[in-house]
Amino acid sequence: MRQRCRGAKSRDRRAAIAITGGLTSIPDELGAQCGRNGGDGGGPEANGALVIRPWRLLVVQGDLRAAVRVAPSGCTLIGFNVDTTYNAEDRRDLFATSTVQVGIETPANLPLLRATAGMGVLWGGPMRPVAVVGVAAGTRGQNMRLLLTVERMQSRVDATEVVGFPRLDANSRPIVVRPSWYAVRVGVEVPLR
């Protein structure tokens, strides 16, 4: 009996590959670039991850994800005279990120719950830093496991704030914008032998 329990714990600690798909929002600063008045969109996202369990309850996860913006909300024109402009190179039609996260998860005898946090990079234009926090829930087992993940990501983008009417009396100043976005995905996690 003891050997069985010990074996189950060691099998659960091995590495796994997770493949998930879902939906993500894409912030205006990295999508439509309408300025302060909106233009966020979203679309489908695919994610691949390598999950390593080096110690009990500790998880290290490397992710590579890509999304395509298919549901832009469009730009809204509002009559006041403050706007934000972004570098056109920051617009990404293919929205790709890679991250490394560290987290904790429930013991092997309980349903899978995982919380992670980490850093990464945004691809497809000038490389931008990305911070990510996420939670995951899933099934347990020695073979394929079902997985549901929710993540919040945030980056840093340089922009220009324009105050006034552009052709009359505009004043501009550089600012830093910190766009954030969310992703919800479902998929499978497959332990490596």
Mean predicted confidence (pLDDT) in 67-89: 67
Q: CB neighbours of 85 closer than 8 A, spacing ≥ 6?
A: 33, 35, 159, 160, 162
Rounded mean pLDDT, 82-90? 72
Three-state secondary-structure class, residue 13: coil
For residue range 64-74, list pLDDT tens digits in order: 999 887 765 55
Report CA 166 to chain centroid distance, whole Å: 35
* Short-list 40, 60, 49, CA closest to 20: 49
Q: Which residue has the tokens 């005279």?
A: 81
The predicted pLDDT at position 72 comes to 57
- How large is the average pLDDT for residues 170-192? 88
Lowest-pLDDT range of 36-50, 89-103, 137-151, 159-173: 159-173
Question: What would the mean pLDDT of 11-27 be, rounded to a whole number?
Answer: 84
Q: What mean pLDDT is predicted for residues 31-49?
A: 75
